[in-house]
Chain A
Amino acid sequence: MTRATPVALALVAAGLLVLPWYAQQDGLLGFGWLREWTGRDAAPALFQAGDHGKVWLWPLFGAFGCGVVGWRRSGDRALSASLLLAAGGFGFGYLLLQGFAVGLKGPTIGWLAAMVGDAPWRQFALGAGAVAAGAGFLILLALGIAGRGGFGGDAFVTGAVLAVATAVGLFAFFPVAKVLVTAVESQAGALDLAAFWQRFAAPKIWSLECLSSARRCGVAWNTIALALAVGAGTTVLGLAFALIATRTAFPAKRILRLLTVLPIICAPFVIGLGLILVFGQAGIVNAALEKLFGVQPTRWIYGFQGVFLAQLFAFTPIAFLILIGVVEGVSPSFEEAAATLRAKPGTVFASVSLPLMRPGLANAFLVGFIESIADFGNPLILGGNFGVLSTEIYFAVVGAQYDQGRAATLGLILLALALAAFVAQRRFLGRASYVTVAGKGFGGGAAPMPGWAKAMSYGIALPWAAFTLLLYAMVLAGGFVEIWGRDNSLTLRHYAKAFEVEWSAHGPIWSGVAWNSLSTTLALAAVAAPLTAALGLIAGWLIARKEFPGRRLFEFATMLSFAVPGTVIGVAYILAFNVPPIELTGTALIIVLCFVFRNMPVGVRAGIAAVAQLDKSLDEASATLGARGGTTFARIVLPLLRPAAVAALIYSFIRAMTTVSAVIFLVTAEYDLATAFIVGRVVNGDYGVAIAYSSALTALMVLAIVAIQALVGQRRLGRRAPPVPARARA
């Protein structure tokens, strides 16, 4: 703790005295700012306040001074902690306040503008200096709070909570709040509740006419019905796959694992496209039916059934990834104990194993529900006339009307649905203890599943696996076919167009159309994935392990960006980050941040579910031996969280590579993303290149998954491998 204080103060000093306070045009590493170090654009805060009239920056130096005093007075712990708290709290809070209060064209608050009058109170967006100073102040704040006894006196926990809370607040809450505020505003920007009510209560959203007539139901009801069906479906399928993968002697387990993960790897449009290629009016199945039975091809795939199928494909893998960690973590000793007490395998399974898997089942259902309500690509391509909230929002934003208020209102409803699901899940889980990974050793293998459970699992999972295989074979074949459905001659033309490399006198020229977006996407996803996993796991640990005021709000906040649909997040980011104090649009950073905060919730969920199974006695043992919070986390908890880490890394990398709706507004000409490019090709009807590119992307991501699993490693719990056909008696 005492070591951290000078580091934090050094950070603040660097921010205030050395680094440029405002954002630089060419980035920090351009080092152009060194040449004009005292100039108006590149000066640190000291010169900005002294030479260039930015007098509102002086209070920050006061906070810095207060912090130094607190450090020197470290003998008196209570006083020192209070001073650090005051310095950090005031410094950080004021930094944000002045950023929002003084804008590009002058003060943004009425009375401030009046008070200032004609004085040139203007400033650009915050830059490296502000970020460094802010980070330093935050650390001081954490040290101060811990010093005063908050959060159990643990500085690491305090710091982690503050850091995650700030990050989530700035990059998830603030943009969403900005958009939601526009829900209650009129087009001109003034508060207008009547307009809000009119938008909210529109029959297009809430009508129930489909039950009584041939008219369509409101989009809200459509969304709920679809999401419930998908949540249930994916949980059942995921459980079947997880049970087969961990508890049976099924020979082709690796293939099964890969197969369940395939749909998550492909961009959402491709799954819908594959379904159309197979089931569309001109698709294979309809063509075959027509040839064999003379059945007229129809557009039956478009509508609820098509979207439901596509979302089942897309979201079963997530349920599987969540459930497999949980199923593996169920301690066999409980099942052995039940068997020793002469319970039949069926009773053991139903009354011991399944209830112990409840956190995973509930989480998987919740994830499936939320993914379904936020999904955009599949309803767009397969919905036909079946409207859901996310497509409505897209039309409201992108449409000829550009009705921000309507988009925001619909987003509000979507958020309410997610919140309802979250609350329902909490009640279902209750307060029972799910601890199964304890400090005591055990050596049993997992009990074999009862016959009926095994039969059901096989019966559900295997046909699904075969279906998935067929779909992907079709889509893969599409990349090698001239024109699908019309000219079935084989060709490599599409791959050549996408990935051509020409040789010139100066070396290779990447002339294929796909290289630009591919390299950008890979780089940004590779940066975002570890950040997402780290943030998610730390947040998950804090939520599951530590009690602190505002924990529920914290948990909800981390889940927030998951529930808000991608298009709203995209527009929110553009609106919130296109003007000072935080100006990020057009950079790669905004895309990375969008990735991180959109995908963090899965890391959090996986972390919570996994940590819920770790007994507190492990933490306590470590603490008794003198380890501080940080050491316990790094050396005890983290290695046991490996499945959750793998799940989070894989999921965030893949989602970063395949997300469409959130980034479609953030893509620029310099930073084009693979998914946006493929969507463009699909919409243009250039299926050959789109499929070729998607297939290559898929192959790349399979490689990435293998690499991640190899790097992070498997968790080794003391168990033997499941016994090969052990026939349990009775």
Chain B
Amino acid sequence: MRAYLTAASAVAGVAFLAAGPVAAQGNLTVLCSVQAEWCQAVATEFQKASGVKVAIVQKGSGEVFAQIKAEAANPRTDLWFGGTGDPHLQAADEQLSEVYRSPRLAELHDWAQKQAADSGYRTVGIYAGALGYGFNSELLAKKKIAAPKCWADLIKPEFKNEVQVANPNSSGTAYTMIASLVQIMGEDKAFAYMKALHASINTYTKSGTGPIKAVARGETTASISFMHDGITEAVAGFPVGVAAPCEGTGYEVGSMSIVKGARNMENAKKFYDWALSADAQAVGAKAKQFQTPSNKAAPLPPGAPKLDEMKLIAYDFKKYGASAERKRLIDKWEKDINSLPK
């Protein structure tokens, strides 16, 4: 009996393994760096619209970049959907993504088209979101702290150890903060500010959405995150409020890239064009996401932060998305800020 079972399982195992990768006809493999609900919705909608079978996995933008870079000689992924723009620009810089000019480019907002042009048409903007603050209104009331409205508020003594932000080594969100501060205050003042901010930070989390989740759960009082993530938490029932910094703030252009040497290039281009259409971008709102879509005809989700109502800087994506500049700023942060005593 035992021998039979062992033999049967061995045969089954061999058969299973020898089956190898699924045939590539009518398939598409997507790595997705937005929230999982949106990833799943996008895959399902595209399948319904085109019949292409989509295999989608959600991974942070840092992880996806590492995977695409490691697989560069023999790529298994076809397309990278979403995630903050800087890793996409870095991938374009290192020629890991395919050049493709979609016919829908003209339908997009200027900032999305500029993203495409800046990268040599290796990537394109699919949404935008402003950087700001999230805070737990219940904890603020309990600790009798006023809600933060400006960058200067966060370095006040009442916020000591009350704030969370991500670690720029792994998070695009945190890098956006560094680059925004540099463009608002100038590099020296920005790093002096971040040194002062260090006293307010209790943890530098790995993922960009970690801080806002902690705010929602009450694990921390305030966070520096993208405002649309805060709205998602508020809609889910948590006591989260959001605010845009009064001195000015940066924003992200969430992007999409086709991997160079993709096995399903035709389907990837089909998906690319579809994802830039107004209908496809409305899927985000259905999945309770509150970014600003890049297609001019796509409706802004109700409740989403309005980009024209806040003080946004003219973020230079080309300069701050370049590999060398990213490395320099993050190394400087690591040396000057992360090594300070906690």
| Contact yes or no, A592 B17, CB < 8 A | yes
Chain B stretch 171-207: residues in CB contact (< 8 A) with chain A: 171-172, 175, 202-204, 206-207
Asked if B330 is at the interface of the complex by the 8 Å CB criterion, the answer is yes
Considering only residues 26-57 of chain A, those with a C-beta below 8 Å from chain B are: 26-30
Q: With a CB–CB cut-off of 8 A, which chain A residues contact B302?
A: none
Residues of B within 8 A of A683 (CB): 60, 207, 209-210, 213
Interface flags, B208-226, vs A, CB<8A=1, else 0: 0110010011111000000
Contact A402:B36 (CB < 8 A) given known A26-B23, A27-B19, A29-B18: no
* A575 contacts B219, C-beta separation under 8 Å: no
Interface members, chain B 1-22 (any A CB < 8 Å): 2, 5-6, 9-10, 13, 15-22
Bound-state Cα–Cα, A385 to B203, Å: 6
Known interface pairs A28-B20, A592-B17, A669-B29; A398-B60 also in contact (CB < 8 Å): yes
Listed residue (B55, B326, B340) with the most chain A CB atoms within 10 angstroms of its CB = B55
Contact between chains at A397 and B17 (CB < 8 Å)? no
Q: Does the CB pair A527–B13 fall under 8 Å?
A: yes
Q: Is the CB–CB distance between B19 and A571 below 8 Å? A: no
Q: Contact check, B9 vs A400: say whether CB atoms are below 8 A apart.
A: no
- Which of A204, A302, A665 is close to B66, meaning CB atoms less than 8 Å apart? A665
Report how far A527 CA is from B20 CA in the complex, Å. 15
User: CB of A433 within 8 A of chain B?
Assistant: no
Interface residues of A in 511-531 (CB under 8 A from B): 513, 523, 526-527, 530
In the complex, whether B56 has a CB less than 8 A from a CB of chain A is yes
Query: Which residues of A are found within 8 Å of B5, using beta-carbon distances?
Result: 711
**In the complex, what's the smallest C-beta–C-beta distance from A411 to chain B, in angstroms?**
15
| Interface contact B213-A665, CB-CB below 8 Å | no
Whether the pair B30, A669 counts as a contact (CB closer than 8 A) is: yes
A window 639-682: CB within 8 A of B = 664-665, 667-670, 672, 676, 680-681
Q: Report yes or no: B341 in contact with A574, Cβ–Cβ below 8 A.
A: no
Indicate with 1 or 0, residue by residue over A573-601, a CB within 8 angstroms of chain B CB atoms: 01100110001011111001000000000
Contact B35 A585 (CB under 8 A): no
B86 near A681 with CB under 8 A, answer no
- Whether A395 lies near B57 (C-beta < 8 A) is no
B86 interface neighbour in A204, A400, A670, Cβ under 8 Å:
A400
A254 within 8 A of B: no
A225 to B334, CA, bound (A): 24
**Contact residues, A273-304 vs B (CB, 8 A):** 276, 280-282, 299, 302
The answer to whether A483 and B21 touch (CB under 8 A), given A299-B202, A400-B62, A668-B55, is no
Size band of the A side of the interface?
Answer: 35 or more
In the complex, B169 has a CB within 8 A of chain A? yes
Q: Measured between C-beta atoms, what is the minimum distance from B250 to chain A in Å?
A: 16
Complex CA distance for A665 and B57, rounded to whole angstroms? 11
Q: A398 and B71 in contact (CB under 8 A), knowing A24-B20, A681-B36, A683-B207?
A: no
Q: Smallest distance from the beta carbon of B262 to chain A beta carbons, Å?
A: 13
B168 within 8 Å of A by Cβ? Answer: yes
Cα A459 to Cα B59 in complex, Å, equals: 45
Q: A486 an interface residue at 8 Å Cβ cutoff? A: yes
Q: Let me know if B70 is at the binding interface, CB within 8 A.
A: yes
By beta carbon, the residue of chain A nearest B6 is A530
Q: Which residues of the other chain, A, contact B70 by a CB distance below 8 angstroms?
A: 571, 574-575, 578, 665
Q: Which of B15, B24, B30 contacts A29 (CB 8 A)?
A: B15
Contact of B65 among A395, A402, A526, A574 (CB under 8 A): A402
Give the residues in chain A near B50, CB-CB below 8 Å.
none
- CB distance A667 to B57 under 8 Å? yes
Contact with A along B48-76 (1 / 0, CB 8 A): 00000011111110110111011101101
User: Shortest distance in angstroms between A372's beta carbon and chain B's nearest beta carbon?
Assistant: 20
- Assess the B21–A586 pair: CB atoms within 8 A: yes
Q: Do residues B219 and A282 form an inter-chain contact, with CB atoms below 8 A?
A: yes
Residues of chain A within 8 A (CB-CB) of B332 are none
- Residues of chain B contacted by A670 (CB below 8 angstroms): 21-22, 29, 55
- B202 and A400: CB pair below 8 A? no
In contact, B203 and A25 (Cβ under 8 angstroms): no
- Which of A8-16, A213-221, A446-454, A547-555 lies at the interface with chain B? A213-221
Q: Is A399 an interface residue (CB 8 A)?
A: yes
Q: Would you call A579 and B73 a contact (CB within 8 A)?
A: yes
- Give, as a whole number of angstroms, the nearest-CB distance from B217 to chain A: 6
Q: Any chain B CB within 8 A of the CB of A367?
A: no
Most chain B beta-carbon neighbours within 10 Å: one of A575, A583, A586: A586
**Residues of the A chain whose Cβ atoms lie less than 8 Å from the Cβ of B74:** 104, 578-579, 583, 585
CB-defined contacts of B294 to chain A, threshold 8 Å: none
**In the complex, chain A residues whose CB is within 8 Å of the CB of B17:** 527, 587-589, 592
Q: Name the one of A29, A399, A588 contacting B169, with C-beta atoms under 8 angstroms.
A: A399
Tell me whether B167 is interfacial, beta carbon within 8 Å. Answer: yes
Give the A-B contact count at a CB cut-off of 8 A: 187
Q: Provide the bound-state CA to CA distance between A398 and B59, in Å.
A: 11
B238 at the interface (CB under 8 A from A): yes
Whether the Cβ atoms of B167 and A402 lie closer than 8 Å is: no
Give Cα A212–Cα B263 distance, bound, in whole angstroms: 56
Please measure, in the bound complex, the distance between the C-alpha atom of A608 and the C-alpha atom of B342, giving whole angstroms.
45
CB distance from B267 to the nearest CB of A (A): 13
Q: How far is the CA of A216 from the CA of B342 in the complex (A)?
A: 7
* A399 touching B218, Cβ below 8 Å: no
Question: Is B342's CB under 8 angstroms from A385's CB?
Answer: yes
Tell me the minimal C-beta distance from B312 to chain A in angstroms.
22
B237 within 8 A of partner (CB): yes
Nearest chain B residue, comparing its CB with the CB of A395: B169
For the complex, is A684 an interface residue (Cβ under 8 Å from B)?
yes
Does A485 interact with chain B (Cβ within 8 Å)?
yes
Residue A502 is within 8 A (CB to CB) of chain B in the complex: no
Would you give the 0/1 interface string for A221-249, flagging 1 where the beta carbon is closer than 8 Å to chain B?
00000000000000000000000000000
Q: Are B339 and A215 in contact (CB under 8 A)?
A: yes
Contact partners of B23 in chain A: CB under 8 A? 25-26, 30
In the assembled complex, A380 has its CB within 8 A of some CB on chain B: yes
CB distance from B239 to the nearest CB of A (A): 8
Among B22, B175, B326, the most chain A Cβ lie within 10 Å of the Cβ of B22
Is A585 touching B71 in the complex (CB atoms < 8 A)? yes
CA distance A243 to B256 in the complex (A): 58
Contacts of A571 in B (CB 8 A): 66, 70
Which residues of chain A in 71-116 are interfacial with respect to chain B, using CB atoms and an 8 Å cutoff? 104
Instruction: Write out the residue numbers on chain B whose beta carbons fall within 8 Å of the beta carbon of A484.
Output: 217
Contact, CB under 8 Å: B36 / A684: yes
CB–CB A669/B219 < 8 A: no
Chain B nearest Cβ from A106, distance in angstroms? 14
Q: Which residues of A contact B86 (CB under 8 A)?
A: 400
In the complex with contacts A401-B169, A574-B67, A579-B74, A281-B219 CB distance below 8 A = yes
A398-B170 in contact (CB<8A): yes
Which chain A residue shows the least CB distance to B329? Answer: A400
A587 to B18 CA separation, bound complex (whole angstroms): 9
Given B71, B76, B202, B238, which contacts A486 in the complex, CB threshold below 8 Å? B238
Say if the beta carbon of B87 comes within 8 Å of chain A. yes
Q: Distance (Å) between the CB of B320 and the closest chain A CB? A: 12
Of B55, B202, B218, B341, the contact of A214 (CB 8 Å cutoff): B341
Query: Please, how many angstroms separate the alpha-carbon atoms of A676 and B209 in the complex?
Result: 17
- Which positions 88-131 of chain B face chain A at CB distance < 8 Å? 90
Closest 5 pairs between A and B when the two form their complex, measured CB to CB? A27-B20, A669-B55, A282-B218, A399-B169, A527-B13
Which residue numbers of B lie inside 8 Å of A, CB to CB? 2, 5-6, 9-10, 13, 15-24, 29-31, 35-36, 40, 54-60, 62-63, 65-67, 69-71, 73-74, 76, 86-87, 90, 161, 167-172, 175, 202-204, 206-207, 209-210, 213, 216-220, 233, 236-238, 326-327, 330-331, 334, 339-342
Given contact pairs A527-B13, A586-B76, a sample of 20 additional A-B residue pairs in the complex whose CB atoms are under 8 Å apart: A27-B20, A30-B19, A104-B73, A216-B342, A384-B202, A395-B206, A399-B62, A400-B62, A400-B171, A400-B330, A401-B331, A485-B217, A578-B74, A579-B73, A588-B16, A665-B66, A668-B55, A684-B213, A685-B213, A685-B216
16 interchain pairs, CB-CB under 8 A:
A27-B20, A29-B19, A30-B20, A203-B339, A282-B219, A299-B203, A395-B169, A395-B170, A399-B62, A402-B66, A530-B6, A578-B70, A586-B21, A669-B55, A680-B58, A685-B217
